[in-house]
Structure 1
Amino acid sequence: MRSICLVALIGLPGAGKSSLCTWLLGQQTALRVRHIVHLCYDDFLDATPSADLAYKEQRGRIFKVIEKLISAIQEDTDWPPQVRRISSSGECNSERHLILCDDNFYYRSMRHTLHQLCRDSGCVFGQIYMARSLDSCLQANSARSNATRVPVDVVRQMNERLEAPDTSEAWERNSLTLHDLDTTGSALLAFISTLLDLPTKKATTDLPTAAAKSLRQDQSLVHCLDLLLRTRIGALLQELPQNEDKRLAGQILNNRRKEILIKFRTEGGGKQRDGDGEDDALEYYVNLLN
């Protein structure tokens, strides 16, 4: 069965989202995917006063393109002609597809719409938050051409309104925050690999609201812990001295990760730890790596 992972890129103009997507387009072999699709919203949006369509209506059209793309992948039909930034691997046997939605997504509601689409269509949803400082983003934005440069006051306004991912929300747990791209490549690939490994689920919209929410929360706990463990492993490997064998250390930490996941499941998802909430329980198991 074809599996689809959709990742929303969050961050200010100049944060490096498009550069990250361009880099990821070259990682199809490392990620073992058949296709990586980069949907850059700037390719579709016209924010000028003379635009034929209102901004909200333009975003609605992009959403329709994403819907059609997901359907085309799942049904093995022709892709929408608007989809142009694609990289394909020679692994024709791979059924895994990665869609990168490259936009600011500074309002949580913008991302939640994508999450709902993924939930209803059986796709995996994740988020990458590019948490660069406002000054860094303004500097990068100022180096752009006149056609792509965003007005300074608009960038500052986005910065004030930006709602960072809240991992206490079940639907935002599959999130990764990046501060420095130069030192987080391995952690980033580990994060996306984990998302791609997650099992696709059937739509739960036919369940009662409370039951559907409970089911999604229960299913996401183990996956959330796995994401946190892999992210911690990436950070620990980055901290190793140059003379340390990172490959050996990675194998040891990965084996430890598997042991911790077994322990987590055996102990009922950490729910038996008296006085601990879900976040505290997850943190306890992540700290077992140290």
Structure 2
Amino acid sequence: MKMGEDVRGAHSEGPQKLVLCVLCGLPAAGKSTFARALRHQLQQELGWAVGVVAYDDVMPEAVLEKASGAGPRPEFRSPSQWKLLRQELLKYLEHFLLAVINGCQMSAPASRTEAMWKDFITCLKDQDLIPSAPVEAQSLYPLTKTAVSRPLLLILDDNFYYQSMRYEIYQLARKYSLGFCQLFLDCALETCLQRNAERPRPLPAETIHQMGNKIEKPNPEKNAWEHHSLAIQSPACASEARLKLTDLLITALENPIKYVEENLEQKETDRLICSTNILHQADQTLRRIVSQTMKEAKDEQMLPHNLKLLAEELNKLKAEFLEDLRQGNKKYLCFQQTIDVSDVISFFHYEKDNIVRKYFSKQH
């Protein structure tokens, strides 16, 4: 397959190219080792940005045990809690993807498991996708040049033993018209059991047997959405398999999933998430303006009754501005690349001054 310059590295003019890659297989099949090698290969040979999100690292046992009250590997003891945590991690991924797609800062979800969110942020920092500078109580995260200047492959490393688990990733890719593919590490059960026994903290052999019985391998012939899938024999990856793998990834990159269904409600949700950074800046600034204005009114000895009415009007004005910002109703709130919060602030000052003059005229 012939590769264009934009595929090889330098980011072409146009929307950011993104691929979600599901890496699945039994425990101890060699997924994490394979993901690290693939990341190095793609960075060196194609110049891509590659991020590996290993579920075991982002959802460590301490988080899982706390959430479920279970012992080691509670996904088999508390499936409902495990599913909720997986869905929460998907929401984290969505926030990151939206920031990359729209070229804005990544916002922290309002509702999150702090330990898991911290590990997710650490994962992105360690791979130079967001800056590593520590910021206490940070709610907005800028992206690095690495994340936005070249094709980006996100490898999601987990067992994904049920088809439904992988389909959730496919739906996320379809939602934003991203590339999607699946890599299944086909490792013999006996080999996985042997490797697992050699680990410092092995899983119960019964757990791996159970997963071996449950696992639903990608089936491109049956499911059209699994068309871009490749089974790889572990641990070795022959040169022919490497060529197939590279071809699969490039094909996924160049052929994002087309999502033609109109979903206005979802578009509204996406816009709100992307505009969180603007809302945050505006909210903080408008709060300071209202507070300073009330202080000045008190210093000018405005009557208590008028002070109360002024505070009510200013807070109402602030709420209206923030709602307009959320809804994009005003001309200057059109959520384009050129949006400037200073325009919002300037207009707020204008409206605020009109209200203040009205109350000061009542004083005389």
Residue 91 of structure 2 corresponds to 64
Match of 1:99 among 136, 140, 154: 154
Q: Structure 1 CA distance, aligned partners of 2:60 and 2:178?
A: 29
Cα deviations by residue, 1:136-188 (Å, 9 ceiling, x for unpaired): 11111122212xx2221111100000001111211001000011433133332
Q: 2:190 aligns with which of 97, 110, 135?
A: 135
Greater share of helix residues, 1 or 2?
Answer: 2
Q: Which residue in 2 is equivalent to 1:50?
A: 65
User: Given the alignment, which residue of 121, 127, 132 partners 1:86?
Assistant: 127
What is the identity, as a one-letter code, of the residue corresponding to 1:8? Answer: V
- The question of whether the paired residues in 2 share the 8 Å contact of 1:119 and 1:204 is answered with no
Q: 1:195 to 1:156 in 2, by over 3 A?
A: same
Instruction: Please give the TM-score of this superposition, normalised by the length of structure 1.
Output: 0.63
Distance in 2, matches of 1:31 and 1:150, equals 36
Number of the residue aligned with 1:205: 261
Residue 309 (structure 2) aligns with: none
1:177 is matched with 231
Aligned mates of 2:259, 2:149 — CA distance in 1? 23
Partner in structure 1 of residue 331 of structure 2: none
- Counterpart-to-counterpart distance in 2, 1:91 and 1:46: 27
Residue 161 of structure 1, aligned match among 192, 197, 214 = 214
Q: Could you report, residue by residue, the CA deviation over 1:89-115 in whole angstroms, capped at 9, with x for unpaired residues?
A: 998995311000000000000000110
Once the 2 structures are TM-superposed, how far is the Cα of residue 55 of structure 1 from its aligned partner?
1.4
For this pair of structures, how many residues does the alignment match?
Answer: 203
Give the TM-score taking structure 2 as reference length.
0.51
What do residues 226-254 of structure 1 show as CA deviations (whole Å, max 9, x unaligned)? xxxxxxxxxxxxxxxxxxxxxxxxxxxxx
Tell me which residue corresponds to 2:248.
191
Identical-pair percentage: 28
AA at the equivalent of 2:127: I
Q: Is the 8 A contact 1:105 1:111 kept in 2?
A: yes
Offset of 1:45 from its aligned partner? 2.1
Show structure 1 runs of 5+ residues with no match.
208-290
C-alpha distance 135-122 of structure 1, shift in aligned 2 (>3 A):
same
Structure 1 contact 128–177 (Cα < 8 Å) conserved: yes
- For 1:82 and 1:61, locate their aligned partners in 2 and report how far apart those are by CA, in whole Å: 16
Once the 2 structures are TM-superposed, how far is the Cα of residue 14 of structure 1 from its aligned partner? 0.7
> Does structure 2 conserve the Cα–Cα contact (< 8 Å) formed by 1:14 and 1:141?
yes
Does the C-alpha gap of structure 1 residues 36 and 156 become closer, same or farther in structure 2, counting only changes over 3 Å? same
Amino acid corresponding to residue 112 of structure 1 in structure 2: Y
Q: How does 1:1-290 map to 2 (within 5 A)?
A: 1-27=15-41, 28-33=43-48, 35-47=49-61, 50-53=65-68, 54-79=81-106, 81-84=121-124, 85-86=126-127, 94-146=149-201, 149-168=202-221, 169-180=223-234, 181-183=236-238, 184-198=241-255, 200-206=256-262
* 1:127 to partner: Cα distance: 0.2
Instruction: State the AA in 2 paired with 1:31.
Output: L
Contact 2:181 2:248 in 1 (8 A): no
C-alpha deviation, 1:56, in angstroms: 1.7
